[in-house]
A = this chain, B = another copy of it.
Amino acid sequence: VESAQFPDTEFPIQNLPLGVFRRSPEELPSIGAAIGDSILDLSACARGGLFESDCRAAGEACLGQSLDPLMALDVSHWSALRRRVSELLRSDGNDVRRNGGRLRALLVRMDVVEMLVPASIGDYTDFYASVFHATNVGRMMRPDNPLLPNYKYVPIAYHGRASSIVSSGTRIRRPSGQTSGGPAVPPSFGPCRNLDYELEVGFFVGTGNALGAPIPIQAAEDNVFGLCLVNDWSARDIQRWEYQPLGPFLSKSFATTISPWVITLEALEPFRVPAFSRSPGDPSPLPYLSDPANTEHGGIDIDLEVLLCSGSMRERRIAPVTLSRSNLRDMYWTAAQMVSHHSSNGCNLRPGDLLASGTVSGASEDSRGCLLELAWRGEKPVLLPTGEERRFLEDGDEVVMRGRCTRPGFAALGFGQCRGMIDGAAEPR
C-alpha cells in the first residue's frame, strides 16, 4: 500500500492497529487492520484461508464482528497475527508477488467505511492517574491541601458506564441534569452549562483473570491488548452537585467517545520509557504495585493533542485550534499498575473491558487535558481565533483528540482521531 509509506501517515506497516468496520449499515461488520489510507479486511483474509498454522486461532477469532474473541486469546496469538498481517502487506514479500491482485481485493479505502466500537465492552473503568490533573482539580476545591492523602498510594478509579461508549464521530447531545443554585436555593433540572471533555488513553483488556485470582504486576501487561484514545465527556455542574458521597454518575454516563483503532502493545514497544519519576518525597509504591521491569519501561511515550473547532470557526473555514498537548508518560501510574491494582481484590477483568487512564495533564499550563483545568473553572477563558471565548463547551463545538508516537530511527505511529461534536440539549418533555 503506497500511502503507508508516506512520511506523514499514521498507519505505516509498523503500526497495524485493529478495528471493526462496515461498508454500509446493511452489511455485517468486519475486523480490519489499518494500513496507510486503507484497511486490510482480516475477516475476509481468514475466510480466504490466509491465516494458517500459528495464526490459525487468531484468524478464526477474526471471523466475528468484534475484537473480543481475539482479545480473549493471548500475546502469542496476537503476535502471530501481527507477523502474518505484516508479511501479507510487505511490498517485497512472497504473498504480494504471488497474490497481489487477490490481496488488493481484500483492501478497502478507509474513507468509505464506518468505524464501530471495536469490542463488546463488558465493564469500563476510569482511572485518575495524572497527579497534575488531580492536583489541579484538588487545588480548585482545597487550595491548601490539593492532593488527598491516598493519591500517591492508590491508583484511584471508579466504574464508568459501558452502554454509552460510542465511536469517534458520533454526535454528543448536551445532557440535562440537576445542578445546585447555591446553599440557599433548591437545585434545578436543565441542560448542562459546564460541559467539558477529558483527554484520556484507553487500555483494552486481553486474556483477563478468573474471579478471585489477582493478576500480579509482573503479568499485568500480558493482559493489555492495546490502546485507544478516550474522550470522557463530563458535565461539571452536574458532577459538582451529585458526586458526594459515591462519586461521579450522571455527569459522566451520558457519553464516552473512543477512537476506533486499537494500537497493540507490541506496536508500541519502541516507545516504551521508564515509569513516571516520582519526586524525592513521594512514597514507593506498595509491593503489589512494584516491579523493576515496570519502573524501567512501564511508561509509554505518546504525544497527545486536543483540538477544538467551534461552529463559527467551521463556518469561516478556520482550522481547528490546538488547546493542549500532553504525554501519557507523565502519568503517575502505569498501565501495569492499573491492571494489577484493579484485580488485586480478586475482581475479574474480561477480554474487551476498557480501562481509561484519567485526564492526561502534564506539569505545564498548556498541557492540561480538560477545559475545567485549562480555563481554570472559567476564570481564565480560552480565546479562539474568531475572538470567541470558551469557559466550557458550546453547542456546535467539535473536540478532536490525536495521539502520536515518534522516536528517531523509528517509523512514527498515529492513533487516528477521537472526535465528537456537541448537539443542543433534548427538548424538555
Interface residues of A in 206-243 (CB under 8 A from B): 211-214, 216, 235, 238, 241-243
A250 and B214 in contact, given A159-B160, A242-B156 (Cβ under 8 angstroms): no
Interface residues of A in 171-207 (CB under 8 A from B): 173, 175-178, 180, 183, 186-189
A213 and B178 in contact, given A186-B153, A345-B250 (Cβ under 8 angstroms): no
Contact present for B123 and A250 (CB under 8 Å): no
A19 CA to B149 CA, complexed, in Å: 45
Pick the residue among B159, B166, B187 that contacts A161 (CB under 8 A).
Answer: B159
* A186 cross-chain contacts in B, Cβ below 8 A: 153, 283
Pick the residue among B153, B173, B180 that contacts A150 (CB under 8 A).
Answer: B180
* A159 cross-chain contacts in B, Cβ below 8 A: 158-161, 249, 253
Q: Of A271-279, A318-326, A348-356, A366-374, which binds chain B?
A: A348-356
A14 interface residue per 8 A CB criterion:
no
Best-buried of A164, A166, A345 by chain B (most CB within 10 Å): A345
Contact present for B250 and A342 (CB under 8 Å): yes
Identical copies of this chain, number: 2
A105 interface residue per 8 A CB criterion:
no
What does the 1/0 interface line of A52-70 toward B look like (CB < 8 Å)? Answer: 0000000000000000000
A contact residues vs B (CB 8 Å cutoff): 122-123, 125, 128, 138, 148-150, 153-154, 156-164, 166, 173, 175-178, 180, 183, 186-189, 211-214, 216, 235, 238, 241-251, 253-255, 283, 286-288, 341-342, 344-350, 353, 426, 429
Supply 8 further A-B pairs (C-beta < 8 A) apart from A173-B212, A214-B426, A250-B342. Answer: A123-B163, A148-B245, A149-B180, A154-B187, A158-B246, A159-B160, A212-B426, A245-B247
